[in-house]
Structure 1
């Protein structure tokens, strides 16, 4: 099927209509990409909404979100989510702290909210990476055989090499004050 080359098994799609009996599909999210630390289960769509809420504050300061990804850090206890942002423009640290807090407070998954309130999940961490970091990630994937036309930044990752690139390029870190 010529139009499905970008979809993977496990992708969540919806039928948006039909064209001559052929379904028109809209990509919703990757089923297996779920942030989870405890009893929480957040999908890529949940993450996208949280990041959109947090990044709305950037526009007031003539800045914008270039790209992002995330991971669940379960090595350090209590486990917590880390969201990596590359931004364009200059933003005060106070504002970035507010962005971090807003994202943490925007998760609606009941398991996440309960786990945050009981400290079973630690505060969300926002890492600001230097400009060009996501280009380095793209270069890494292309260098390992991915096709440029097929590359999509993973919204949630546990890939050791990708996390190494992100952590080396991190220039600022913020911890959420939500649920304090």
Structure 2
């Protein structure tokens, strides 16, 4: 029985017996392997912002191999991973030229008018926004995905998915994008590791109701050792670690212009982001297309998250900044 994509487990009867028994236990470490002992791998997406889920997948699976087979969107099936058993950090997809007509918009450009680059003319190490023309009728449609060229298979390029082309957070002249925020959360997570605590999920909000405005990061934490919980000062340090990870423009606004206030972490109760998904689906979002938004701006979503906050922390010092 394929219990779910990439999972091969026991018969339906045994599965129904094991599931409530194992899920009733307090410790869910290796729960996938306990329920489906014959599982060989996990077929999941762990590129771009999804890399944050790798530690969680390792925890629940007991370190099973992670496989990311293909690269696709609702508009088009675009690429395939020719080395599916590679490390998650090495995942690249080979563009399949028979699926659509692919063109690429260089991310490094000095003007608004830029010539699109054909499939065979992209350069290794450069980043491009994917542009597609499909059999279904889309013409030069900007998908919004930023890809980095890592090599070629014959004349078809290998790409790593980098991020979505959007700016998440803006208070003043700062422009924080998804990879920057992901790096900041990753660096804060390192401070939590010694307490056997990890970040389950996160999102962000640019709070302009305060003067000056400031970044708010909502974190849902998985605390695996209740006898060794991170103290308040550790979360304060996480705030500063996140600020140190953001770009020079943000830190200049914080240190020199004082136009951005201290970054704030709001810890939400367990299960909040599952409730958020249910909330969004109830309003019409597609279950198959739903992804946790990395930035929320609507008042209803902010109010929803704030209603589930259990504690708040602020950066207690200014991040480092120099004009050199």
Give me the TM-score of the superposition, normalised by structure 2: 0.51
- How far off is 1:50 after superposition? 0.5
| 1:40 is aligned to 2:203 | no
Gapped regions of structure 1 (runs ≥ 5): none
**Cα distance in 2 between the residues matched to 1:23 and 1:163:** 41
Which of 92, 96, 99 is the aligned partner of 2:235?
Answer: 96
Q: Which is further off, 129-138 or 146-155?
A: 146-155
Rounded Cα–Cα distance in structure 2 between residues aligned with 1:51 and 1:106 = 9
Instruction: Flag structure 2 segments of 5+ consecutive residues without an equivalent.
Output: 1-69, 76-141, 224-228, 320-324
Q: Which of 105, 112, 121 is matched with 2:250 structurally?
A: 112
Q: 1:20 to 1:67 in 2, by over 3 A?
A: same
* Rounded Cα–Cα distance in structure 2 between residues aligned with 1:23 and 1:142: 36
The alpha carbon displacement at 1:10 in A equals 2.5
Question: After the TM superposition, which of the residue ranges 95-104 and 121-130 deviates more from structure 2?
Answer: 95-104
The 5 A counterparts of 1:1-180 are: 4-6=72-74, 9-18=143-152, 21-89=155-223, 90-107=229-246, 109-117=247-255, 118-179=257-318
Bigger RCO (CA 8 Å, 6+ sep): 1
Q: CA deviation at 1:92?
A: 1.6
Q: How many angstroms apart in 2 are the aligned matches of 1:145 and 1:16? A: 38
Residues 140 and 26 of structure 1, relative CA distance in 2, 3 Å threshold: farther
Task: Give 1 or 2: higher helix fraction.
Answer: 1
Distance 2:315 2:71 in 1: 42
How much has 1:146 moved relative to structure 2?
2.6
**Contact 1:104-1:178 within 8 A present in 2 as well:** no
Q: Which has the larger radius of gyration?
A: 2
Give distance in 1, aligned partners of 2:268 and 2:143: 31
Q: How far apart in 2 are the matches of 1:146 and 1:22?
A: 35
Shift in Å, 1:104:
1.7
